[in-house]
Structure 1
Amino acid sequence: MFELETIIKTKANPDTFFDFTGRTSVRDGKKRQHSHSWEPQQPAPPHTQTLAAADETSRLPSPEVTHSEHIAPPSKLRTAGILVTLASVSLLNTFNSGLLTVALPAVARELDIAPSVQLWPASVYALGLSCGLLPLGAIADVVGNRPVFLTGLLLYTVFTLAVSLSRTGGELIAFRTVQGVAMSFCMPPAVSIITSSFPAGRTRNVAFAVFGGGNPVGFAMGLVLGGVFVQVASWRAGYWMSTSVNAASMILAFFCLPRRLPGSDRVPLKSMVHRLAHELDWVGVGSASACLALLSYLFSELTNGAASFVRRPHSIALLIVAGLLVPFFVFWESRQERLGRPAVLPNSIWHRLEFTTVCLSVFLTWSWFNAFSYWATLYYQESQQLDALQTAVRFLPVVVSGLGTNLVAAYIMDRVDAGMLSLIGGIISIAAPLIFALQDVSWMYWKSAFPAMIISVISTDLLFNISNLVITNNFPGKSQALAGGVFNTVAQLGNSIGLAVTAMIAASVQEAAGGEKMATSGSVTYNSSMLQGYRSGFWTCFAAAIVATLISSIGLRKAGKVGEKKEV
């Protein structure tokens, strides 16, 4: 998987080695082509053996089986339980965000949250989530998926209940932060559970599609039920319901997730602790997590206005620290790889076109889609003067489209090239922000906004399935939870940056338009300056969607059918 060779010394003849990397290398001054069959070789130079052994260490062996393609899939009953558990986790992750999105005005009034920090309950969740994805992905690869996943579900249940009992804005912000950390326990192991439970091919494709399908369903359900709860009962009722569903998911996971996969052995606690201490790139994990946490915080600050941001000395200081952590991380990973030591994200992996392509594509796609959803919500409520429930109902097409896209993806990933899928999905979804940028506030929902909501999620869900398969294929079988952490980290960073950038652009456009200017179109009276700001946000989303489509379709043109069953 990485650049160094994997070399095995035979038991029968210690001087004979087998190389199954399937690539060209130089051995004893001679260039030779290795096939995928085990070919006897001359002994490797001592330094090569050392580096090979070090590379095996850097792959972070897990107590679970690393070659999932050799494992028979679980029984139908256990398979159903695993899929329901994973879908419920992704659903609850976005459900709580959707619930808070539509209920935030009511929450702010009840808890007396100052306008300057009203976005913090939503922002700190992303902050907590981004802090834990990489370290917990690496830890799960050592201690196992099950204990990390169950711990996350337990914490998420407890602090979802705590959110519902919040008495002040400070308590709500603190509990939402820990909620985000708790979810970071679940997301990386979820990816590893799929790759270690289901062999490559149709079954794994379906598992990823089910896992991804929970995201749009959860967010839309949160919006709709949040609007209902706010008007009928209380926003707290939504979190009580979420707590109940989460507790049920935790019980189901306890009985359905395998304690150990077939062929794996129980790892002694002492050995596990030793590996945690010596086989993880703690400096790399720490610097990357600190940088991501700082960036998440800073971009959430930027959404409140660039002018206020630059007037805060601590914001500038933190921005400098985050900027310095980036070259330090690159230097450290280069050093670790050069010395044959564990590296959380080796620099050489960026030389892989498919991996780099999906990371850039996921970053841009999640950037524009998250920002698009945010500006669409404001467009409905502020420009078209709709209430929370009416706004939430207008997001229902996203649920149907998201479910349909994931269902289709599950059955075509092994039949259609990834580049073609990315191109088709991207071209379709590009039209969504374009429609919102051009439509008039008096236009009927069915004429413009309805088709835009349907097509908006198609590229995101197709890319979710493609990118998970590509990223997990680029990490060793022993590091699949870390692969899940990388995917979710890139997506989370895209969410934060996309919203911050579009917010800055919208604010500057609105300011240039000159304060509050009321206008009328049909029967709708709206603030024309504010609408210009919203439209600039949609135009920015449109541009990002075009770039994401170009990158994914070109970069994945040779990727082939990423969901195809592998020959082993």
Structure 2
Amino acid sequence: MHKALRPTPRPRSAPPTSGKAWAVMVVLGVAEMMATLDTSIVNIALPSAQSDLGFADSQRTWVVTSYALAFGSLLLLGGRVSDMIGRRRAFLVGALGFAAASTLGGLAPGFATLITARTFQGAFAALLAPSALSLLSSIFSAGRDRARAFGVFAGLAVTGFALGMVLGGVIAEYASWRWCLLINLPLCAFAVAGGTAVLPRLDAERRPALDLPGSITVVAGLFLLVLGLSNAEGHELRDPQVLAPLGAGVLVLGLFVQIQRRVASPLLPLRVVLDRRRGGAFLAAFAMIVGMLPMVLFLSFVLQQQLGLSAALTGLAFLPLIVGNLASAHLLADRLLPRTGPAPVIALGLICGALSLAWLTQLDAGANYAADILGQVLLMGIGMGCAVPTAFNLATHGVDSADVGIASATMNATQQLGGSLGAALLSSIAGTITATATVPASDTATIHGYTVAFAVAGAILFCGAVICGALIPRDPSVSH
């Protein structure tokens, strides 16, 4: 007697097709752009916010750090929560919460309210970003459309960071710093309205349980790690304010790894990280942001302090990064990936970034933008357009449906840690070189410190290219 056949489980919603799928991509891309935009948009506007609210110089960095701490430390938890409650629901809750926090920050009467708002912005971004990447991975599961979609998505993410510099400068000069936060409201409205209209309910077939011990230890460990790296920007690396949280963070994250090896439903299944393709993707994203973020940070100082550009013109000076990134993602990476597979495309992107930084080591006190900076910024954008979309694609390709959210969150967390580590390490190197110069306060000493940091960052990107080229399997399966 034959056993009765069980009906095949039907998904709660079928993936959207053709035009609707691309409408979904636009909604998700705008949301990702908004989350990355808020990493950089307040930087140039900080002096005007400080003047308006009257907080001390020592408190100023917390306007940036509070967002990075919440975003970076809560990403893995946010990714798992999106797997548990449903990615569409997590996306909408994240967008609504982000809007509320942005409103609170834009209307903040004092420093404490502003920091509270920035912290909540980071927390809701930690729910929004991995759910957006998870939905994109589920909808564009294979083929050239997947490579193209990830190119657009990652391009918008990088554009968000660079656009934050552009808008931050323009807003700081011609409007109130408060619009650096209130500008999120129309973007959130678009994300919520578009998400409600077009996002499908593509949830995991099985919803994992919450690993509470793992959640507590990873949030605490990442918080301590990002805190230590953030403190390093204002202190020497050997300062107790840097070493104590870094050491504690490493110990707590070591405990987290041990917990993940033993629990039945781990927050971060180690198979997600130990897979060669995903490990290479995480490393590529980490290395790329280590090089890109300090380049933007140092060049913004050079443009304003040495070249005398206004905040608005300084922001506009980074437009070639956006142009190079978007052009490279669609004209280069999109065409190479089906032919070569991900390893050569990622390696090419990292090498372009390394060459950009090596070129910047020629910078001196007599530099001008067109001859000595424009080409390097454009080349870095080209490198990012190759490496970042391909890494985003690779990080979520072939992942079990119950782990897509956590793989997406790990990719975002890798970028956050890369940015924090890159800014801390390279700022410390630049500061040390400048302080030991014969005339420390001179433009020549300052720029020499930056060029040494550029050389170190370029070496990191070159090593990343070699390692990723060897680690990632050389096959074009990601594009099929």
Q: TM-score, normalised by structure 1?
A: 0.78
Instruction: Tell whether 2:226 aligns with 1:296.
Output: yes
Which residue is 2:459 aligned to? Answer: 543
2:251 corresponds to which residue?
324
Counterpart of 2:359 in structure 1 is 435
2:239 to 310, 315, 322: 310
Task: Give 1:449's match in structure 2, choosing from 373, 385, 404.
Answer: 373
Partner of 1:555: 471
Alignment partner, residue 83 of structure 1:
25
Q: How far apart, in 2, do the equivalents of 1:289 and 1:160 lie?
A: 23
- Identify the residue that residue 393 of structure 1 maps to in structure 2: 316
Query: What letter is aligned with 2:478?
Result: G
Select the residue among 269, 274, 283 that pairs with 1:346: 269
1:179 aligns with 2:109: no
Partner of 1:459: 383
CA-to-aligned-CA distance 1:360-403 (integer Å, 9 cap, x gap): 22222211211111111112112222221121111011111111
Distance 1:304 1:64 in 2: 55
Backbone CA RMSD of aligned residues: 2.6
Aligned to 1:447, what secondary structure does the other structure show?
A: helix
| 1:369-384 alignment, distance < 5 Å | 369-384=292-307
What's 1:113 paired with? 55
Provide the C-alpha distance between the structure 1 equivalents of 2:48 and 2:111, rounded to a whole number of angstroms. 12
Query: Match for 1:197: what amino acid?
Result: I
Equivalent in the alignment of 1:424: 348
Separation (CA, whole Å) in 2 of partners of 1:243 and 1:351: 39
Q: Cα deviations across residues 94-153 of structure 1 (Å, max 9, x unaligned)? A: 323332122122222222232223222112211111122111211211221011110000
Tell me if structure 1 keeps the 8 A contact 2:63–2:118. yes
Letter in 2 for 1:403: L
Alpha carbons 2:287, 2:460 under 8 Å: kept: yes
Give the superposition deviation at 1:324. 1.8
Structure 1 residue 311: deviation in Å? 5.0
- Residue of structure 2 aligned with 1:141, choices 83, 93, 107: 83
Segments of structure 2 that go 5 or more residues without pairing to the other structure are none
Distance 2:10 2:131 in 1: 12
- Alignment-mate amino acid for residue 211 of structure 2: D
Q: Determine helix, strand or coil for the equivalent of 1:467.
A: helix
Q: Which of 270, 282, 306 pairs up with 2:212? A: 282
Matched position secondary structure for 1:182? helix
Per the TM alignment, residue 474 of structure 1 is displaced from its structure 2 partner at its CA by 5.2
Determine the C-alpha separation between the residues in 2 that align with 1:473 and 1:260: 16
Residue type matched to 1:553 in 2?
Answer: G
Q: State how far apart, in whole Å, the 2-side matches of 1:486 and 1:303 are.
A: 24
Match of 1:192 among 134, 141, 151: 134
Match of 1:53 in 2: none
- Post-superposition Cα deviations, 1:506-554, rounded to whole Å, max 9, x if no partner, equal 1211221156443xxxxxxxx2222222222212211211111111222
> Aligned in 2, Cα 1:515/1:167: closer, same or farther, shift over 3 Å?
farther
SS in 1 for 2:340: coil
**Match among 69, 72, 75 for residue 130 of structure 1:** 72
- Separation (CA, whole Å) in 2 of partners of 1:94 and 1:490: 14
Instruction: Quote the Cα distance in structure 1 between the aligned partners of 2:440 and 2:137.
Output: 53
1:172 shift after superposition: 1.7
**Contact 2:353-2:458 at 8 Å conserved across structures:** no
- Preserved contact between residue 229 and residue 246 of structure 2 (Cα < 8 Å): no
Number of residues of Structure 1 aligned to a counterpart in Structure 2: 475
Letter of the 1:532 counterpart:
H
SS at match of 1:513: coil
Q: 1:198-347, aligned counterparts within 5 Å?
A: 198-259=140-201, 279-306=209-236, 310-312=239-241, 317-336=244-263, 341-347=264-270
Instruction: Measure how far apart 1:356 and its partner are.
Output: 2.3
Q: Secondary structure at the match of 1:100?
A: coil
Q: Would the alpha carbon gap of residues 360 and 218 (structure 1) be closer, same or farther in structure 2, given more than 3 Å must change?
A: closer
1:507 and 2:422 matched:
no
SS across alignment from 1:251: helix
> SS at 2:288's partner residue?
helix
**Structure with the bigger percentage of helix:** 2
Q: Is the 8 A contact 2:146 2:479 kept in 1?
A: no
Q: 1:350 to 1:335 in 2, by over 3 A?
A: same
SS in 2 for 1:188: helix
Counterpart residue number, 2:444: 528
Q: After superposing the two structures, state which structure 1 stretch, 529-538 or 386-395, moved more.
A: 529-538
Q: Distance in 2 between matches of 1:468 and 1:217?
A: 15
Residue correspondence of structure 1 range 154-173 to structure 2 within 5 A = 154-173=96-115
Counterparts of 1:64 and 1:484, CA distance in 2: 24
Residue in 2 that maps onto 1:356: 279
Conserved? CA contact 1:135–1:286, under 8 Å: no
Q: Distance in 1 between matches of 2:277 and 2:28?
A: 26
Kept in 2: contact 1:413–1:564 (CA 8 A): yes
**1:18 maps to which residue?**
none
State the Cα distance separating 1:158 from its structure 2 match: 1.0
Query: For residues 469 and 114 of structure 1, do their structure 2 counterparts lie closer, same or farther at Cα, with a shift above 3 Å needed?
Result: same
User: Structure 2: which amino acid aligns with 1:296?
Assistant: V
Q: Which residue of 1 aligns with 2:421?
A: 497
Q: Which runs of 4+ in 1 moved over 4 A?
A: 10-13, 63-66, 348-351
Separation in 2 of the partners of 1:407 and 1:545?
A: 22
Give identity over the alignment, percent: 25
Alignment partners' CA distance in 1, 2:202 and 2:460: 43
Q: Any gaps of 5 or more consecutive residues in structure 1?
A: 1-9, 14-62, 266-271, 519-526
> What's the offset of the Cα at 1:76?
3.8
**Aligned amino acid, residue 290 of structure 1:** A
8 Å CA contact retained: 1:305, 1:503: no
Which amino acid in structure 2 is aligned with residue 462 of structure 1?
A: C
Q: Among residues 326, 334, 341, which one is paired with 1:410 in the alignment?
A: 334
Distance 1:458 1:370 in 2: 15
One-letter amino acid matched to 1:407 = H
Residues 72, 198 of structure 1: 8 Å contact kept: no
Equivalent position of 2:410 in the other structure: 486
Contact kept in structure 1, 2:284 and 2:388, CA below 8 Å: no
C-alpha separation in 1, matches of 2:160 and 2:40: 7
Of 344-353 and 147-156, the range deviating more from structure 2? 344-353
